[in-house]
Amino acid sequence: MSLLLRGGLIVTQDPQRRLLAGDVFVEGGRITAIGSVDREGDEVIDCAGSAVLPGFINLHHHVANTLLRGVADDRPLEEMLPKASAIDAKLTRRDVQIGALLGCVEMVRSGTTSFHDLFYWEDEVARAVRESGMRGFLSWVTLDDAFTTQHGSPLKNAEVFVAKQKDDPLVTPSLGVQGVYVASEETYARAREIGDRHDVRLHTHLSETRAEVEGHRNKTGLRPVEWLEKIGFLTDRVTAAHCVWVTMNEVRILARHGVSVAHCPVSNMKLASGGVAPVPEMMREGVLVGLGTDSPLSNNGMDVFADMKVAALLHKATRWDPRVMSAQTVLDLATIHAARALHADREIGSIEVGKRADLAVVSLKGVHTTPFYPETVISRLVYSCRGSDVRATIVDGQILMADGVVRTVDEADVVARAQETAHELFEA
């Protein structure tokens, strides 16, 4: 099966960040030609007046929490988490699967092709990934038994999940650790040991709030990053979400160990975590940083266009410098840098011959993107475009959505089932 994306403005995100006017040809799920293509595809998408870019990679998510969207708005994290935990305790496998599928449809509609999840019952999230056609980097969350709502041991659950999901073309399994506030040194050590043994990645929350940092320092005498270094958890297999309350010393620790960071500015701002993650300093010190929406509990939406704009404006405003976080830098966070953070940049994150065809076609013909000039396409994508401008979303060469129609699932049925499930959860 071949696919031709004809006549678009190709935002390659390759090492030279080339912009090319032309075509993208896809065969067997991979990009086989870029530029002027003289072949016809089995299916053709006319991309005139549109940008063709790598699909977004959402580097930190809890996708099944779509069912909890709006239940804890206008509350700090310390109040949100107990409310979420009370609902989590009632969730069934069916609930997690339908919540994840709803989130996948939302992401497909707005140009996201991959997401990095942190939750339990990730095998049900994997079902949603396969059904929707997305690419999922799925981390089964672990924490101390005393704090969990999971059935059985979180560490054993995570290891079983990892063992069962290996070698799936769309699902990359890994282990998560909730955070230092509910995970002991033993839990972190066992998570790393399981990750090493199965050769998979690790995903954790880290230094999200001042209360988390100060509480841990009072308990251990060390800040969370310092403590994780001391216990031997930090490696280049780790992606740490948030890292808002970190010092320059901690930034250098993260860089030294090759830890990547998922920057979640909308979530952090909504929860009033205070402070701003020192992303410019992280990048200057060599830390790989990608962009995450975080949970629908603390973001409400999964439109990466919205998060890119906020990421740019947040750092400009707090640094009093409009140059500090450019549109190109932010687009990098949502594509090739996120791919590198997941050690997946040989396969995804840019439009290059040989890579997987994970692509988004974005219209530049809307009122809010006019006038448009090719030399300003990156700025248009970051500052003007919206998820609703996405005309097509493609993963592994398969068209998941085109011209407003999701092809892989019955969207109306998914929405109806999610609404019914949420009603049952909150009315019970």
User: What are the helix (H) ranges across 63-146?
Assistant: 77-88, 93-109, 122-132
* 139 and 173 housed in the same domain: yes
CA distances from 420 to 39, 62, 87, 249, 408 (A): 47, 20, 15, 49, 21
Can you give the pLDDT at residue 428?
54
Task: Tell me if 124 is assigned to some domain.
Answer: yes
CA distances from 145 to 177, 213, 264, 393 (A): 12, 22, 28, 40
* 73 and 32 housed in the same domain: no
317, 341, 365 - which closes a domain: 341
* 170 and 260 housed in the same domain: yes
Task: Tell me if 114 is assigned to some domain.
Answer: yes
CA distances from 30 to 78, 166, 360, 394, 417 (A): 45, 21, 14, 11, 34
CATH (domain of 230)? 3.20.20.140
Task: Tell me if 297 is assigned to some domain.
Answer: yes
Count other C-beta atoms under 10 Å from residue 208's C-beta: 26
Backbone angles phi, psi at 207, to 5 degrees: 50, 50
Domain that holds residue 76: 56-341
- As a whole number of angstroms, the distance between CA 218 and CA 334 comes to 36
Task: Tell me if 274 is assigned to some domain.
Answer: yes
- As a whole number of angstroms, the distance between CA 128 and CA 102 comes to 9
Q: Is the pTM of this model over 0.95?
A: yes
* 378 and 238 housed in the same domain: no
- As a whole number of angstroms, the distance between CA 202 and CA 92 comes to 25
* 217 and 122 housed in the same domain: yes
- CB contact at 8 A, 393 and 384: no
Residue 52's DSSP bridge partners are: 10, 361
> Residue 25: which of 394, 344, 337, 339 has the closest Cα?
394
Count other C-beta atoms under 10 Å from residue 377's C-beta: 22
- As a whole number of angstroms, the distance between CA 252 and CA 287 comes to 8
* 195 and 243 housed in the same domain: yes
pLDDT tens figures, 116-150: 999 999 999 999 999 999 999 999 999 999 998 88
* 180 and 31 housed in the same domain: no
Amino acid at residue number 74 = D
The stretches in the chain having pLDDT less than 70 are: 428
Largest interatomic CA distance in the chain: 66
How many structural domains compose the chain?
2
CATH (domain of 18)? 2.30.40.10
User: Which residues contact residue 78 at a Cβ distance below 8 angstroms, ignoring those fewer than 6 apart?
Assistant: 209, 211
Task: Tell me if 92 is assigned to some domain.
Answer: yes
The 8-class DSSP code of residue 399 comes to E
* 258 and 372 housed in the same domain: no
Task: Tell me if 237 is assigned to some domain.
Answer: yes
